[in-house]
Amino acid sequence: MPKWITDRLATASYYEGPLCGDAAGSILIDVRELLDKEGNDPGLLRAKISLAEEAIGQGKSVVVSCDRGVSRSNAIALGVLMASGMPFAASMRLVREKIGAIEINLGLLREVRALFEPCLSGKRASSENLLITGSKGFVGSALVSALATPYNTACLGREDLDLTADLQLLDAYIASKQIGFVLHLAHPRMRNNTSALPEALAMMRNILEVCRLNGIGVLFLSSLAVFSGHISNEVLEAGSSLEPQPKGLYGETKFLCEELIRTFRANYGIEAIVLRPAALYGIGMGRGTFLSKFVEADRRGNTIYTHRYRNGSPVFDFLHISDLVAAIERALVVKPAVPVNLGTGVGTSTYDLARKIAEVTGSSSSVETIDIRDETCKVIAGRQEAEDLLGWRAKIDLDAGLRELCQDAHAPRSIAVS
């Protein structure tokens, strides 16, 4: 059935047309010949909008239709609102209010908008203006603080915008802030649930599409987890010769996001930076990581449980948050054209990590292992590649980083009294 935007303007599927276009005083405008992407003839777009304007001016009701009554019909209807004198932002709000989600191809939307706002882009985007998605997370919070001086940072959190759906609003936000580069740190809240995969890919695809249409670049924070499918009894070094081979939802999600980036780079020449940090840690890290659970168990004097797989204990390269921030700062200057693996180049088993934590704090916590009937990866980052491509090397060793982390965890917390 038609979705009415005003009392005389609606959108619908063409195949519902007879239900809404045959009544006296109403007409059906078929826009199926338009492309549901950029590349449409401006004259044809304007003709469709003018046809609707004329009918409404004659007191008729107009139903704009495409195959499903979603993208092309919504775009032309929005153009009709702008033709009546309604500003773009107000037109978007009205369509959103009446229809719900605004399902309009961004390239097509820009073409319709440009008919009434020729200077669509406004001032030129500046490379000094950065947009950081996921700015309130562990990495985002540290990065916002570090980049505050040399750059102008704009921040988006989940409460500001839904990156999986609000493509048009994201585009408008980037244009209004004259953003020159996007740092995409946002990730699904439940990253190990099946829903994380489509959510992460939708966010990545929307970010890339907006960057493509605005002619700006993007930095994506991937992970060494893209190598998690390499199973060995020995520790493997992730250098330029080791191909990604993910295992598990998190690694697969990061890998597929990288593949989207590779596709956009090949098809459109988009500038994209991909960084693959090792296991991150530091003050402010999330509670859900195994390292934070180790620290919490130690703080409480409880047993720290680790896992032992058929090929031994898992081995990780642990990277301090301040080292990652320094690497991102270098990447924004150098802009490497290939993914860069980031780490210390030193592997530590989860069992040894637990022992280190207990030693640092001098706690009475014991460390016990639980056998797992599976095999695990043991991958660390090669150091030479990051040195060659970024001129960067990790500075904080694990012992120093753990001392800082454990001291913060054991520090007394003040309790507010109302």
Q: Residue 160 class from Cβ within 10 Å (0-12 exposed, 13-18 middle, 19+ buried)?
A: middle
Given 62, 89, 116, which residue is the final one in a domain? 116
pLDDT tens sequence across 285-322: 988 889 999 999 999 999 999 999 999 999 999 999 99
Given 116, 133, 160, which residue is the final one in a domain? 116
* 57 falls within a domain: yes
* 322 falls within a domain: yes
* 240 falls within a domain: no
The CATH number given to whatever domain includes residue 318 is 3.40.50.720
* 137 falls within a domain: no
* 263 falls within a domain: no
Cα separation, 331 vs 329, in Å, equals: 6
The CATH number given to whatever domain includes residue 31 is 3.90.190.10
* 148 falls within a domain: no
Calculate the dihedral angle through the C-alpha atoms of 191, 151, 325, 169, rounding to the nearest 10 degrees.
10
- Residue 161: the pLDDT is 86
The pair phi, psi for residue 3, each rounded to 5°, is -110, 110
pTM above 0.75, yes or no: yes
227: DSSP letter:
G
Rounded mean pLDDT, 267-294: 93
Domain encompassing residue 358: 271-418
Q: Give the pLDDT band (50/70/90) at residue 240.
A: confident
pLDDT tens sequence across 147-199: 988 899 999 888 888 898 888 889 988 988 899 999 999 988 777 778 889 99
Q: Write down the H helix ranges in 23-137.
A: 42-57, 71-83, 88-99, 106-116
Place of tokens 């195949």: 15
pLDDT tens sequence across 370-390: 999 999 999 999 999 999 999
Tell me if residue 11 falls in helix, strand or coil: strand
Residue 418 has pLDDT above 60, yes or no: no
Cα separation, 236 vs 150, in Å, equals: 37
Cα separation, 368 vs 366, in Å, equals: 7
Number of domains into which the chain is organized:
2
pLDDT tens sequence across 199-210: 999 999 999 999
* Tokens, residue 229: 């499918």
Given 86, 116, 146, which residue is the final one in a domain? 116
